[in-house]
Amino acid sequence: MVTNPTWQCFIACWGDKYSSADINHLIGKISASATSRPRFVLLTDCDHPDLLSTVVVRRFPDFYMQPDKRKGGCLAKLAMFQEGVMPDDLPAIYVDIDTAVFGDLSKAFEFQSVTDTIQMIQSAIVPFSAFARWMYKITNHKRYARGNSSVLVFHPAKCHFIDTEFRRLYAKYDGVGIRNMHADERFISWIAQPMMRRLPNSFAVKFPTEFMLHTKWLCYFKSYLPWVRRRRQSLVAITYCDESNKFEVLLAKPNNEVTVDRKGRVLIWNDRVLSGMGQRTIDYYRPTDVP
């Protein structure tokens, strides 16, 4: 029996970096693991003729397609918060296309009240917490915890202020903005700090944060910790957020290859260090017609 969706999954794509096949692959993986039916909504600037017919397509507003919004800071993603752009009748989970989804995304709604919070992957040393919110308050919003926006859990109807405040500050500073406006995740973390909560690292992680450390022995040591291995096996989402760690780069690596990224973090590409996630990643991205 077909039921009405109880939540929605947002995906954003501008330019020609990702194809309809990439988007359909992600949607297929999410659908296969979902225990409740989502509505899929694609925010895009172009036509996708081979896109799954069930996907709701919305267009980026012209404001967010300006060149300065489409650079490395991915400010264009803030368009999802603009009133009238994306549906706001249901709670939403936003997922970057370069995020691998291994399980039921809707479990994220169990961690926090979606009407009162925005959940994000932790990325800075200071975690989203009562302490961070206190620090944000006493420093007049100058100090705050930050996250990574590759996975966001929120209710769109409660978050239109993010777009409103960005536009107000953009106009106030003549399009130059301030430091907190140079990246979408930085701006979200800053302007919505009282609402920010951390997605558990047993649910979603950034690949380099979870699997890369600054020495080889630390990579091996971490992988041998039994609680780390258990947590990694339960991961629902892994985002490949750095160019050197995009899944297509990882899949081309020979077994046991050791590489160092621009931040000095070491990656050892074998299943012992990755707790089996290397093979799971290969299987996840394997074309459906390959046995």
DSSP letters along 83-135, please? TTTS--SS-EEEE-TTEEE-S-GGGGGGTS-TTT-EEEEE-SSSPSSHHHHHH
Rounded-to-integer distance, Cα 57 and Cα 13, Å:
11
Q: How many domains does the chain have?
A: 2
**pLDDT at position 244, please?**
66
Rounded-to-integer distance, Cα 119 and Cα 33, Å:
20
Contact partners, residue 55, CB within 8 Å, separation at least 6: 23, 27, 40, 41, 42
Rounded-to-integer distance, Cα 43 and Cα 10, Å:
7
Could you say which of 168, 199, 230 is where a domain stops? 199
Could you say which of 199, 218, 251 is where a domain stops? 199
**pLDDT at position 289, please?**
38
Could you say which of 158, 181, 199 is where a domain stops? 199
Contact partners, residue 200, CB within 8 Å, separation at least 6: 111
**pLDDT at position 81, please?**
98
Residue 290 lies inside a defined structural domain of this protein: no
**Within this chain, do residues 14 and 145 fall inside the same structural domain, yes or no?**
yes
Regarding beta strands 56-59 and 118-122, do their DSSP bridges make them parallel or antiparallel, or are they unpaired?
unpaired
**pLDDT at position 248, please?**
78
Residue 1 lies inside a defined structural domain of this protein: no
Amino acid making up residue 220: Y
**pLDDT at position 2, please?**
44
CATH code at position 185: 3.90.550.10
Closest CA to 283 of 6, 132, 291, 275: 291
Rounded-to-integer distance, Cα 101 and Cα 87, Å:
23
Residue 23 lies inside a defined structural domain of this protein: yes
Percentage helix, strand, coil, to 5, in the chain?
40, 20, 40
**pLDDT at position 291, please?**
31
Rounded-to-integer distance, Cα 46 and Cα 14, Å:
7
Burial 223-233 (b: 16+ CB within 10 A, else e): beeeeeeebbe
Q: Give the domain extent around 74.
A: 7-199
Rounded-to-integer distance, Cα 46 and Cα 155, Å:
26
Per-residue pLDDT of the chain (291 residues; tens, 9 = 90+): 346 899 999 999 998 888 999 999 999 999 999 998 899 999 999 999 899 999 999 999 999 999 888 887 789 999 999 999 999 999 999 999 999 999 999 999 999 999 999 999 988 778 899 999 999 999 999 999 999 999 999 999 999 999 999 999 999 988 777 788 889 999 999 999 999 999 999 999 999 999 999 999 999 999 999 999 999 999 999 998 776 667 778 888 888 999 998 889 999 999 999 999 888 888 888 765 333
**Within this chain, do residues 273 and 232 fall inside the same structural domain, yes or no?**
yes
DSSP alpha helices (H): ranges in the chain? 20-33, 130-138, 160-172, 184-191, 207-211, 216-224, 226-233, 247-251, 271-274, 277-285
**pLDDT at position 204, please?**
96
